[in-house]
């Protein structure tokens, strides 16, 4: 069984949905575990979160969860949603929203984020012990979004804490950042200690991925800022293959 860690409801499928489709086609079991799938835990939406919901046409939290159920179903993967709220829905210990501006989304981790990282690390260790995957894929943290960096740090810590029990760990390049931004600096830093692995995909794998990504209909316009996401993903998939074809790049 392979486990794919997703910071938000959409990241693993957008970033390595082709790899998931290929694994399932080859007879592997795959589970996508979304870390920040929780809601505000009874608090009302902070102003920035309310604006985001209005922009995406979201009436409730369940819409995004159902989109993920559909996406994972299209890939033939199982799915798990952990109850950690993403940064938009988090409050600091003084009751202030963690995120008020766009810059907050990409700020360095703060003390209260590190508390979240510790809790996520423990949850990931428990899920790995329970599911016993042969490989776990986690985000590289490209783009510097707080939740992606937190997920990356928690993943690395959980693997280190598991020691001899740890399965094979691989890091995927986060979308949309890997496809749309100049992340070469971050990528180079991150990849210094790791080896790139090119996951070659068939057209069938690719079609399967695109169908799954399309399920995140409330999110795509916002994430890709109106750009043609199919074209952007395809350009990336063609760029990372040294000799033609389609692929996703991960690091071992």
Residues that bind Zn ion (CB under 5 A): 7-8, 11
> Looking at beta carbons only, is 63 or 241 nearer to Zn ion?
63
> Looking at beta carbons only, is 15 or 199 nearer to Zn ion?
15
Closest by Cα among 2, 7, 45 to 25: 2
> Looking at beta carbons only, is 144 or 167 nearer to Zn ion?
144
Q: Min. distance of Cβ 125 from Zn ion in angstroms?
A: 22
Instruction: Specify the 3-state DSSP secondary structure of 201.
Output: strand
> Looking at beta carbons only, is 18 or 141 nearer to Zn ion?
141
Q: Is 100:245 a contact under the CB 8 Å cutoff?
A: no
> Looking at beta carbons only, is 12 or 170 nearer to Zn ion?
12
Q: Min. distance of Cβ 226 from Zn ion in angstroms?
A: 18
Distance CA 151, CA 156 (A): 9
Instruction: Specify the 3-state DSSP secondary structure of 194.
Output: coil
Q: Is 215:74 a contact under the CB 8 Å cutoff?
A: yes
Q: Min. distance of Cβ 145 from Zn ion in angstroms?
A: 6
Q: Min. distance of Cβ 87 from Zn ion in angstroms?
A: 10
Closest by Cα among 215, 217, 128 to 166: 128
**C-alpha angle with apex 152: 146 to 153, nearest 5 degrees?**
90
Q: Min. distance of Cβ 133 from Zn ion in angstroms?
A: 21
> Looking at beta carbons only, is 125 or 174 nearer to Zn ion?
174
Distance CA 225, CA 216 (A): 14
Distance CA 241, CA 223 (A): 24
Q: Min. distance of Cβ 245 from Zn ion in angstroms?
A: 27
With CB atoms as reference, the residue minimizing the distance to Zn ion is 8
> Looking at beta carbons only, is 7 or 18 nearer to Zn ion?
7
Q: Min. distance of Cβ 148 from Zn ion in angstroms?
A: 6
Residues contacting residue 220 through CB under 8 Å, at least 6 positions apart: 213, 214, 229
- For every residue of 52-68, DSSP letters joined together read HHHHHT-SSSHHHHHHH
Q: Is 138:172 a contact under the CB 8 Å cutoff?
A: yes
């Amino acid at each position: 069984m392979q486990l794919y860690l997703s910071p938000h409801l959409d990241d693993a499928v957008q970033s390595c949905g082709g790899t998931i489709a290929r694994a399932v086609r080859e007879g592997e079991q795959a589970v996508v575990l979304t870390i920040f799938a929780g809601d505000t835990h009874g608090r009302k939406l902070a102003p920035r979160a309310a604006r985001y919901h209005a922009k995406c046409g979201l009436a409730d939290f369940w819409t995004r969860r159902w989109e993920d159920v559909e996406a994972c179903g299209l890939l033939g993967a199982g799915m798990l949603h952990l109850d950690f709220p993403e940064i938009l829905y988090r409050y600091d210990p003084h009751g202030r929203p963690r995120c008020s501006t766009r810059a907050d989304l990409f700020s360095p981790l703060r003390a209260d984020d590190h508390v979240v990282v510790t809790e996520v690390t423990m949850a990931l260790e428990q899920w790995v012990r329970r599911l016993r995957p042969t490989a776990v894929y986690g985000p590289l943290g490209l783009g510097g979004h707080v939740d992606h960096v937190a997920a990356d740090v928690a993943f690395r810590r959980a693997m280190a804490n598991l020691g001899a029990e740890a399965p094979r760990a691989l890091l995927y390049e986060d979308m949309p950042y890997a496809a749309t931004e100049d992340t070469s600096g971050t990528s180079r830093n991150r990849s210094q200690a790791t080896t790139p692995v090119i996951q070659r995909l068939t057209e069938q794998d690719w079609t399967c991925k695109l169908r799954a990504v399309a399920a995140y209909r409330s999110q795509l316009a916002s994430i890709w800022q109106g750009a043609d996401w199919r074209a952007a993903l395809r350009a990336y998939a063609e760029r990372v293959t040294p000799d033609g074809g389609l692929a996703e790049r991960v690091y071992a």
